[in-house]
Amino acid sequence: MLNPVALLSEPSKRTTPAIVKWLGQSKVMAVGWLAMRVWLGIMWMQAGWAKLFGAENAYFLHNHGAGVAGFAAHGVPAYSWWGSFLHSFVVPNAGWIGVLVALGEFAIGAALVLGFFTRTAAIASLLLLFTYVMSGTASVCGFYALFAIVILATWKTSSWFGVDGLIAGYRQRHPGHRHLTLRSGVTGTAEQVRAA
């Protein structure tokens, strides 16, 4: 009988192909990831803006979230258990869920455009897209999800041009300036805490 480890190799000893490493670490590719991140962020901001201040405002922030309630009540959910969730939880709470969706879309977009909390924004994007797809809307969700997954997989270089990159650069240049607080109440840089 064949040993699966001998046949497939030891997982901990496998190496990442050079092209994959290059895609995730290249400064040249950082420009491409930046374009993807900013584009996805702008799309989310536009969707959120329409709900907060634009044509969809009346359906999300007013009228008890009529847009959310209508979508949840008349959509075609992917699974019956999700349909039950929509009818029993989302429809009765559509007012605050509409506000949450509008603010969430805009916040995700702003974070992606700025490159601030990039991983968190990409994950939030995927979670929101998951709810849309489960509720019966495909539209551009697959395309947005692909971009969010790429941004999440390449977060170090996709956020290199952005606030996350600036913070990471500052931390690399000033490793001893991170403020620490011990249980004794001594606060300061790492050197100050060690001296106390």
Q: Are 81 and 134 in contact (CB under 8 A)?
A: no
> What global pTM score does this model have?
0.78
Calculate mean pLDDT across residues 91-113.
94
Token readout for 103 is 């603010």
CB–CB of 130/76 below 8 Å?
Answer: no
User: Over the stretch 54-97, which tens digit does the pLDDT of each residue have?
Assistant: 988 888 888 888 888 888 888 788 889 988 999 999 999 999 99
Q: Where are any strands of DSSP class E within 79-185?
A: 180-181
User: Is 101 exposed, middle or buried (CB count within 10 Å of its CB: 0-12, 13-18, 19+)?
Assistant: buried
Sign of the CA dihedral with 132 first, then 137, 46, and 67 last:
negative
Residue 19's pLDDT band, with cuts at 50, 70 and 90, is: confident
155-180 pLDDT per residue, tens: 888 888 888 888 888 888 888 765 55
What rounded mean pLDDT belongs to the chain?
84
Q: What is the DSSP string of 48-97?
A: HHHHHTSTTHHHHTSTTTHHHHHHHHHS--SSHHHHHHIIIIITTTHHHH
- For residue 177, the model assigns a pLDDT of 62
- Distance, in Å, from the CA atom of 39 to the CA atom of 162, rounded to the nearest integer, reads 14
